[in-house]
Each structure stands twice: as C-alpha cells, then as structure tokens.
Structure 1
Amino acid sequence: MDWIEISGNWILVPRNPIGIIHFLGGAFVATAPHLTYRLLLESLAGKGFMVIATPFVNTLDHVAIAKQVLRNFERALIRLEERSLLPSGYLPIYGVGHSMGCKLHLLIGSLCDVERAGNILISYNNYAARDAIPLIQQFNSQLSSNFNVEFTPSPLETNQIIQSSYKVRRNLLIKFTNDTLDQSLGLTELLNQLFAEMVTTQTLTGNHLTPLGQDVKWQAGKDFNPFDALGQWFKQEIYRDLHQLKRTINLWLNPLSSL
C-alpha cells in the first residue's frame, strides 16, 4: 500500500475500506504527516481504514486553518470518487488529531457542518501564543500594552466555542504519563458536560512525541554483542508505547477487533 497525493492531502487506500480517517498532526510536524506519523497512520490503514492526512502550516488564525484543511479533505473525497477509489455506500468518517490537530478537529466539529462518527484527540494542546511560541512573547514585550499577538481563537474563546457549538458526540481522549504539554483534563470536563456517556479517556505510557514514533533501523553485527542487545532494547522501548497507542485507537474504532 503506497501513499498517494491528492489535492494537497496524503492518502492511503486499503482494499475494501471500512471507514475513513481524517488525520491532522501537531504544529510544525504537520507539514509532512505521511512521514512524521508514518507508522501510526500505516497501522490504521492496515486495519482497513482509508487515511487522509492533511498537511498545514501553523499561523495565528486557527479558524482559517481549520476551514482550509476541511476544504482540502472534502476535495480529496471528490477526487477519490472521480477515480473510483472511494467505495459506494456509507463509510464512517473519524477525525484523528495530535496536539494542535486536536484543536483543529474541535473547531471543525463546532464551526462547520460536518458529519463525524467520532473524534480521537491525542495529547490535546490549547496553549496561548505566548506559551506556545517563545518568539511571540518577545515580540509582545516590544509592543504597547494595547496590542497583543494571540491565536484566533484564544484558549478561552476555544473553550467557549466547544461548550456552545461542538457537535461530535463520540470522542476518545488520549494522554500520556510523561506529557507536560497535554491539556486533556480541561477538555474532558468540557466534553463530559456535553456528551458524558460518549466520552472515553485513556492514559497511556509515553510522552508528547509518542505518536511520532519512527522506524529505528538497528542492524546487528555478525556476532551478537552487548551493543546489539542495547540497540534492540532501545528499539523495543520506542515501539512499546507506540504499539499501545495503536491498540487503544483500534479497539475504540472497532471494539470487535479484539474478539
């Protein structure tokens, strides 16, 4: 199964797909999601989900980004249908986001008319610009007190938008034990007020970069030695947390998969 590029999206098309994943990555690593999140996304395709990963460049206007990635996603669906790569009939669409990608899916689910079977929100991040980008804080300090650079919407405005307008009922929130950037706790409280019985939270071992787990190549020597053992241990440690993430996502998407 090879990646194809359609309308600015990177796409994996399995045989006889059972659903569609719209993936949005974190700030600064979202420009090439088919590379930075390759192992995670290819594992989802291996379970039968068509993966449409939409790159984006981070700016201060997160509403504009959310609407643009949605337009690109919808264009991809049209092109896939034209190429007869999209099966006829209903396929559930799930949003999967990491870090800033979560915020974008939340904005899409609040401000846009979309139909989603659910959202998977990994390591949700809703920091203010001054906390997310140190350069902006330096820039703000040079300006008058009447002017301040901030994301649109701000963290508070984002929470208000979610509380008043978010329409995606089924949600999985995933946080990691060693993730100081995660803000899933506050989001969980918001979503529980809206759809209490439809919100699932999972805490897994790992950190903010776990979803970006990459394929570590370690070629053992002719004679196995302690360095080879160390290399294999290191590789297993990296993969362990990523495998746990894959299993958690797959079980939520397809509860019968473990039977």
Structure 2
Amino acid sequence: MSTFKRISDVSCQWPSRPVGLIELIGGSYISIKPEVTYKRLISCLLKKNFAVHSWGYIPNFDHQLQANQAWKQFRQSRKILEKRIGLIPKSIRLGHSLGCKLHLLAPDGGRNCDGLVAISFNNFRADKSIPLLRKMSKKLNFQTEFSPSPSETLNLVREHYEQINNLLIKFKNDNLDQNDFLLKSLKERSADKSKIMNLDGNHLTPVSVGLREKLLKANLQNSLKYENINLIVDQIIHWEILTS
C-alpha cells in the first residue's frame, strides 16, 4: 500500500520505506494526469519500493520555462518526502518523449540526481510536432518554434548538462525516437557514461497499458505491452548506479 499526496502539480506516491526516488515527466499531452496515463509503469516502480513523483503539465512553446517549473516543484516535493523518511538513498530522473527534454533542461544541469533514464527522447521542430501549425504558419506568414529549439537543445546538452549517468531507451518500432542524436551530444562531453539500449515496442509502450486500464478496465497482465513495461522497470532498478 502506498501513500498518495499532491504537491503543486506533482503527484507523489510513496511506499512505506522507499529505497529511492523516481521523478517522472511524461510525454506531450499525455501527462495532464500522469498517475493515470503511466499507471502501470508507476505501480511497477512502487512494487519495487521506489517513491514516484510525476509532474502533470500541458505543454507550451517555452520548454525552458516548463523545465524550470518542473524542477522547482520536484525539489519542493523531495524536501517534503525527506522530512518524512530522511535522506533519500538514490534519485533518478525518468523522462518519456518530451519529458526527456524537460529533464535535460533542468536548471541544475542534472547535478542533484544520480542519473537520467530517457525513454523515446523527442526533439522535433514545432511545425513537425504540431502539423496544424505548419499549415497556419504558411497561411498567415508567421514562424513559431519551441524555446529552446531542437538545435539549441542539443547545444545546451553539450555545454551545460553535467549528469554523466544517462540510460537511453529506444523502441524498435518507434519512428519518433531521437535518442541517437541525444547520445551523440552526450558523448561529446568529457567523462560521459551514457549508454543506449533497444527494446521491443513503440513510442506509446510506456503509456498505453495505463490508458487502456482506465478506459476499458481490461486485465492486460498477459499482454506484450505489459511485459515490456516490466522490462523497462527492470532496466531502471538494476541500473548499476542504483546498486553501486
């Protein structure tokens, strides 16, 4: 049994004796209520005695502003948890799709965690991420781009992101994944320990089970997607920085 607490926009789920903390930022437009859309992923982490803080948001064009907001609210939530249980042994940032980018843009450069798990990192231009925007911009003769832009984001990773422990997870049937570009930028930094792995699945593998459980109330324990989420959790909890 876990304790649920909402702190600002962070959904906090705490087992009685956490062995570590996972700070989750999910993908664009599926993270308004991450405790629902990532239900299965979160429940698996809770069963392994990890506390899970998941940030709920509606994406906008200013990704740096949202990264700052997430970081501040995660910090506030962590302080409250530490008052309850004491010092947290390990802290892992977990991002999916756009959530990876927001973690990478955190004001502390990743210093105040033990590592980042980036699932299906996505860093497309605004007009590719939002198809209607391309049509509108051509018709109305204006240009809109995310801040920072895709190229600026990778430059910031190379120049300001300091966390050397990064586990990049990509799926074999995911044409939205850009983890290869992220890995290249991470490896251009000194002392980098980042690594990438390929798993079966697609861009929505981390979220689709939770959505179906909510909308269809179906038992999917034997489904392939269910097994893939278990595999993701196993990779996270057995990552060497959690056992070193």
TM-score normalised to structure 1 length:
0.84
Name the residue aligned to 1:119. 116
Whether the 8 Å contact between 2:61 and 2:147 is mirrored in structure 1 is yes
Name the residue aligned to 1:142. 139
Residue correspondence of structure 1 range 78-227 to structure 2 within 5 A: 78-81=79-82, 84-85=83-84, 87-108=85-106, 114-144=111-141, 147-194=142-189, 198-212=193-207, 213-214=209-210, 215=213, 217-218=217-218
TM-superposed CA distance for 1:8, in Å, is 2.2
Whether the 8 Å contact between 1:121 and 1:173 is mirrored in structure 2 is yes
Give the whole-Å Cα distance in 2 for the aligned partners of 1:104 and 1:203: 22
Q: Which one-letter code corresponds to 2:225 in the other structure?
A: I
Give the whole-Å Cα distance in 2 for the aligned partners of 1:173 and 1:69: 21
Report 1 or 2 for greater relative contact order, CA contacts < 8 Å, sequence distance ≥ 6: 2
Question: What's the C-alpha RMSD, in Å, of the aligned pairs?
Answer: 2.3
TM-score normalised to structure 2 length:
0.89
Q: Which runs of 5+ in 1 are unaligned?
A: 220-231
Whether the 8 Å contact between 2:90 and 2:242 is mirrored in structure 1 is no
Give the whole-Å Cα distance in 1 for the aligned partners of 2:235 and 2:182: 19
DSSP-derived class of the 2:12 partner? strand
Q: Which one-letter code corresponds to 2:14 in the other structure?
A: V
Name the residue aligned to 2:67. 66
Alpha carbons of structure 1 residues 91 and 7: separation in structure 2 relative to 1, 3 Å: farther
Alpha carbons of structure 1 residues 245 and 156: separation in structure 2 relative to 1, 3 Å: same
2:234 counterpart of 1:247: yes
**Structure of greater Rg:** 1
Whether the 8 Å contact between 1:12 and 1:42 is mirrored in structure 2 is no
Whether the 8 Å contact between 2:116 and 2:167 is mirrored in structure 1 is yes
Q: Write the deviation string for residues 146-179 of structure 1: whole angstroms up to 9, x where unpaired.
A: x410000100111111111111110000000000
Per mean C-alpha deviation after superposition, the further-off stretch among 37-46 and 27-36 is 37-46
Name the residue aligned to 1:226. none
Alpha carbons of structure 1 residues 90 and 11: separation in structure 2 relative to 1, 3 Å: closer
Whether the 8 Å contact between 1:98 and 1:124 is mirrored in structure 2 is yes
TM-superposed CA distance for 1:94, in Å, is 1.2
Length, aligned pairs only: 238
